[in-house]
Amino acid sequence: MSRNGRMRKASHAGSWYTNSGSELNAQLEGWLRRASESLKPAKAIIAPHAGYSFCGACGAYAYRQVDPNVVKRIFILGPSHHVRMTNCALTGTDTYETPLYNLTIDKEVCSELYSKGAFDTMSLGTDEDEHSIEMHLPYVAKVMESRRGQFTIVPILVGSLSPANEAKYGKLLSGYLKEPGNLFVISSDFCHWGRRFGYTHYDKSCGKIWQSIESLDKMGMNIIETMDPPAFTEYLKTFQNTICGRHPISVLLNAIAHLRSTSNGVRMELKFLKYAQSSHCETSSDSSVSYASASFVMY
């Protein structure tokens, strides 16, 4: 089969989330039902990408802000966990599999992006190994089920970008962010704390370790809400917080900054709606991963 005819399999189904479509549908419905509508219709969301048993409920707060009636195309920006990259890459497949139904790649937009000379192509192995994009696919399929067959996706694997490249990709994608019918999904977990992650920052003035982690994360979340890319870069430089989707987040912030500088009279708001931790760290031998969900709107 030709490269363009290949399907990306749901390679993490059965381990990171259930491969039963009916069970998955029920889980997602339950989480979405319990999450509140507070900032919609979202033009962009930030949501986690860990196993659903850890972050599924948190992610619902972001996806609850999506209005499927105004979405025709979904860009999914996920960080590269397994391949070293200094740029961004697109998929080489036509379809992404999920246990609910399969999602169609927007080949026309991919061609437009390739024409910019800034994107590589993921190998199928890289594509299927990476969970940061896949963990959003069932949620995308669920919230868009009323528009099944009427929307496309544009998965983008984001490498370890320099601030200059974050600005370059942000500017390049800003037109798509502004365009009606487009939604951006930014994939990121927050602090990975513990010796196994090589990160043990602890400010004892905050109280227990888990409270120090929460304080550090929320400092970063507050900065993200200001939509100030250099401020977020400085925060990361100062505290080295292990936010794995820091580059996709920075690309979004740069896209927003470009729009703010060129779109007079357009009001924009980015707000975090939910925060959670996989566990509460009490001692130095503990570990945890933090999760946060946010929505970005343009009025």
Are the CB atoms for 56 and 29 separated by under 8 Å?
no
Task: Kindly state the average pLDDT of the residues 54-71.
Answer: 98
Query: What's the one-letter identity of residue 187?
Result: S
Cis peptide before 163 (omega within 30 of 0): no
Q: Which residues of 256-291 are buried (b: 16+ CB within 10 A; e: fewer)?
A: bbbbeeeeeeeeeebebbbbbbbeebeeeeebbbbb
pTM comes to 0.96
The CATH class given to the 3-298 domain equals alpha beta
pLDDT score of 2 = 35
Q: How many other C-beta atoms lie within 10 A of the C-beta of residue 189?
A: 24
Percent with pLDDT over 90 in the chain: 96
Q: Which residues contact 196 (CB under 8 A, 6 or more apart)?
A: 287
Q: How many other C-beta atoms lie within 10 A of the C-beta of residue 40?
A: 14
pLDDT score of 264 = 81
**Angle formed at CA 181 by CA 9 and CA 252, multiple of 5 degrees:** 75
C-alpha to C-alpha distance for 249 and 246, rounded to whole angstroms: 5
Q: Which residues contact 184 (CB under 8 A, 6 or more apart)?
A: 43, 44, 45, 74, 75, 77, 173, 176, 177, 252, 255, 296
C-alpha to C-alpha distance for 79 and 88, rounded to whole angstroms: 9
Name the region of 75 (left: φ>0; alpha: ψ -120 to 50; beta: rest).
beta
Task: Kindly state the average pLDDT of the residues 198-220.
Answer: 98
* Distance between start and end Cα atoms, the chain: 45
Name the region of 25 (left: φ>0; alpha: ψ -120 to 50; beta: rest).
alpha
pLDDT score of 5 = 66
pLDDT score of 265 = 80
C-alpha to C-alpha distance for 87 and 224, rounded to whole angstroms: 22
Residue 262 has pLDDT above 50, yes or no: yes
C-alpha to C-alpha distance for 45 and 30, rounded to whole angstroms: 20
Query: What's the one-letter identity of residue 255?
Result: A
pLDDT score of 1 = 29
Residue 263 has pLDDT above 90, yes or no: no
Decide which of 265 and 124 is more confident: 124
